[in-house]
C-alpha cells in the first residue's frame, strides 16, 4: 500500500480519506483522480495543496486512456474507488448519469487494474497478479434495500436496491465481483452506512440541516421523518477502509457501521437544539419516491475478523461536525452560492 490511486478524492469521504492517509501512512504516495463535478471541491484539499505525497489529477474515471496513462506513470499497487454520483434525490431526476459514472466508471478502473497488475495480461486463463496489489470498491449499505423494524444487513443479505443510485452501486459491486471470480483480480468491497462529518456537500441531511438552521431557513423533513439511518463519523469509515486494505481477504465484502440507528427527525431536533434554534423551523415536505424506511448494519464481520472498531460515539461525532461547520462558514458560503441555489429551488421549491 505505497502508491495509491484514490478516485473521487475531492468529494466528501474521499477528501477525508486523503487527509487520513497522509496522517496515518506517511510513506504513501497518493494520486487523486477527480472530475470535479458539482460535488468535487478543491477547497476540501486546500490545506494539503503543497504536500508532495499528494498529486491531484483533474479527470474522469470513464476516460480509459487517462486511467491507463496514470497506471503507467505511477505504477499503483492499490486503488481505492470513491468517485460516484452519490445523491439519491439526484438519481431520481438523472438516473442515466448514475449508471454511466457508477457502473461504467467502475469497470474502466477494474480493466486498467487487471491489465497492469496481471503477470500475463494476454493469457485469459492466468490468474496470477503482482504481489500486494488490491482494488477496493467503496460501496454502500443501500445496495441491500430497506429493512423493516427488525434485523440488520449482513454481508450475505441479498442485494435488493430500490433507487437508481443504489441500483447503480449494486451493479458496480457485481462487476467488481465478476472481475474477482472470472479474472482472479484481488478486490475488496466495503459497504458502509450513512456518513457524516466535515466537507459533506449540503444536499445531504446533516450539512443541509446545519446550514439551514444557521441561516434560519425551513428544515425540509421528508414524509413523517421516522426513516432510520445508521450513522458513522467519516473518520471511522476511513479507518475501516485502511483496515480492509491492510488485513481484508481478497474477494470479500465487509460491512462498515457503528450501531448508531437514528430517526431523521431525532437528528434534525439535535441540530436545532445544538444551535439554539426553534423547532418551528421544521417543515414536513412530500416524501421521496421509493424512500427506504430503515438501514442498519451488522458490523460483526469487520470487528471480529479484522479487529476494526469505530473511535467516535455519535454524540462526539456530531459535536465535532457541528463545530466544524460553525468554524467553516466561508466553505459553506462558497458552495451554497451559484449553482446550489438553482438545485435547491428545483428540489425544495
The one catalytic residue in 34, 141, 203, 230 is 141
Please state the φ and ψ torsions of residue 256, each to the nearest 5 degrees: -130, 125
141 is catalytic: yes
* 221 sits near ligand TYD (criterion: CB under 6 A): yes
Between 8 and 258, name the residue whose CB sits nearer to ligand NAD: 8
Q: Could you say whether residue 37 binds ligand NAD (CB under 6 A)?
A: yes
Using CB under 6 A, count the residues that bind ligand TYD. Answer: 12
The C-alpha angle 89, 90, 94, rounded to 5 degrees, equals 130
- How far apart are alpha carbons 206 and 209 in whole angstroms? 5
Residues in 163-222 that interact with ligand NAD by CB under 6 A: 169, 192, 194-195, 201
204 binds ligand TYD per the rule CB under 6 A: yes
What is the per-residue burial (b if ≥16 Cβ within 10 Å, else e) of 181-204? eebbbbbbbbbbbbbbbbbbbbbb
What stretches of 184-233 show up as alpha helix (H) in DSSP? 205-214
**Is position 165 annotated as part of the catalytic site?**
yes
How many Å apart are CA 150 and CA 170, to the nearest integer?
23
Binds 60: which of ligand TYD, ligand NAD, none (CB < 5-8 Å by kind): ligand NAD
Choose the stretch contacting ligand TYD; rule: CB under 6 A; options: 6-14, 63-71, 204-212, 240-248.
Answer: 204-212
The three-state secondary structure class of 262 is strand
**Residue in 229, 237, 294, 301 binding ligand TYD, rule: CB under 6 A:** 229
Binding mask 313-342 for ligand TYD (x = CB under 6 A): ------------------------------
84 binds, among ligand TYD, ligand NAD, none (CB under 5 to 8 A by kind): ligand NAD
Beta strands in 53-173 (DSSP E): 54-58, 78-81, 134-140
Give me the phi and psi of 281, to 5 degrees please.
-70, -20
Residue 204 cell numbers, joined: 445531504
Contact positions with ligand NAD (CB under 6 A) in 230-249 = none
DSSP strand pairing (187-192 vs 232-233): unpaired
Residue 143 binds to ligand NAD (criterion: CB under 6 A): no
Residue whose CB is less far from ligand TYD, 2 or 341: 341
Name which position in 4, 33, 88, 112 contacts ligand TYD (CB under 6 A). 88
Which among 318, 332, 331 is positioned nearest to 233, based on CA atoms? 318
Among residues 316, 89, 94, 289, the alpha carbon closest in space to that of 203 is found at: 89
Contacted entry of ligand NAD, ligand TYD, none for residue 176, CB cut-off 5 to 8 Å set by kind = none
Indicate left, alpha or beta for 199 from its phi (over 0: left) and psi (-120 to 50: alpha). Answer: left
Helix (H, G, I), strand (E, B) or coil at 343: helix
Residue from 101, 107, 162, 194 binding ligand TYD (CB under 6 A): 194
208 binds, among ligand TYD, ligand NAD, none (CB under 5 to 8 A by kind): ligand TYD
101 binds ligand NAD (CB under 6 A): yes
**Rule CB under 6 A: which of 41-100 touch ligand NAD?**
60-62, 82-86
CB-CB contact of 256 with 315 (8 Å): no
210 touches ligand TYD by CB under 6 A: no
- Contact residues for 176 (Cβ-Cβ < 8 A; gap 6+): 106, 110, 135, 137, 187, 189
Bridge partners for 196 per DSSP: 233
According to the binding rule CB under 6 A, does residue 213 interact with ligand TYD?
no
Question: Could you tell me how many residues of this chain bind ligand NAD (CB under 6 A)?
Answer: 31
Look-up of cell digits 494520486: 31
Active site amino acids: 141-142, 165
Footprint on this chain of ligand TYD (rule: CB under 6 A)? 88, 194, 204-205, 208, 220-222, 227, 229, 264, 288
Footprint on this chain of ligand NAD (rule: CB under 6 A)? 7-8, 10-14, 33-37, 39-40, 60-62, 82-86, 101, 105, 138, 140, 169, 192, 194-195, 201
Amino acid at each position: 500500500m505505497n502508491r495509491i490511486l484514490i478516485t473521487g478524492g475531492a468529494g466528501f469521504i474521499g477528501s477525508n480519506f486523503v487527509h487520513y492517509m497522509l496522517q496515518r501512512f506517511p510513506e504513501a504516495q497518493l494520486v487523486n483522480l477527480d472530475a470535479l463535478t458539482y460535488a468535487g471541491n478543491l477547497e476540501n484539499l486546500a490545506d494539503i495543496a503543497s504536500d508532495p505525497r499528494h498529486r491531484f489529477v483533474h479527470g474522469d474515471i470513464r476516460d480509459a486512456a487517462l486511467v491507463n496513462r496514470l497506471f503507467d506513470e505511477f505504477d499503483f499497487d492499490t486503488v481505492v474507488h470513491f468517485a460516484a454520483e452519490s445523491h439519491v434525490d439526484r438519481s431520481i431526476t438523472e438516473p442515466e448519469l448514475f449508471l454511466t459514472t457508477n457502473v461504467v466508471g467502475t469497470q474502466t478502473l477494474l480493466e486498467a487494474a487487471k491489465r497492469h497488475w496481471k503477470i500475463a495480461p494476454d493469457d485469459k486463463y492466468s490468474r496470477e497478479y503482482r504481489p500486494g496489489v488490491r482494488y477496493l470498491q467503496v460501496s454502500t449499505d443501500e445496495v441491500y434495500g430497506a429493512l423493516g423494524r427488525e434485523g440488520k444487513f449482513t454481508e450475505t443479505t441479498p442485494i435488493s436496491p430500490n433507487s437508481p443510485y443504489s441500483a447503480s452501486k449494486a451493479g458496480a459491486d457485481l462487476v467488481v465481483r465478476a472481475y474477482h471470480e472470472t479474472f482472479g483480480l484481488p478486490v475488496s468491497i466495503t459497504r458502509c452506512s450513512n456518513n457524516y462529518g466535515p466537507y459533506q456537500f449540503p444536499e445531504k441531511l446533516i450539512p443541509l440541516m446545519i446550514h439551514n438552521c444557521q441561516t434560519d431557513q425551513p428544515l425540509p423533513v421528508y414524509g413523517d421523518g421516522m426513516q432510520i439511518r445508521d450513522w458513522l463519523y467519516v473518520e471511522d469509515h476511513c479507518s475501516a477502509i485502511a483496515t480492509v486494505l491492510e488485513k481484508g481477504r481478497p474477494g470479500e465484502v465487509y460491512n462498515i457501521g457503528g450501531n448508531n440507528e437514528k430517526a431523521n427527525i431525532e437528528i434534525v431536533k439535535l441540530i436545532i437544539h445544538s444551535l439554539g434554534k426553534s423547532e418551528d423551523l421544521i417543515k414536513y415536505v412530500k416524501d421521496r419516491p421509493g424512500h427506504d424506511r430503515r438501514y442498519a448494519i451488522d458490523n460483526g464481520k469487520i470487528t471480529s475478523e479484522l479487529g476494526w472498531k469505530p473511535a467516535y460515539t455519535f454524540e462526539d461525532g456530531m459535536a465535532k461536525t457541528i463545530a466544524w461547520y460553525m468554524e467553516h462558514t466561508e466553505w459553506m458560503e462558497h458552495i451554497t452560492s451559484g449553482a446550489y441555489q438553482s438545485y435547491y429551488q428545483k428540489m425544495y421549491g
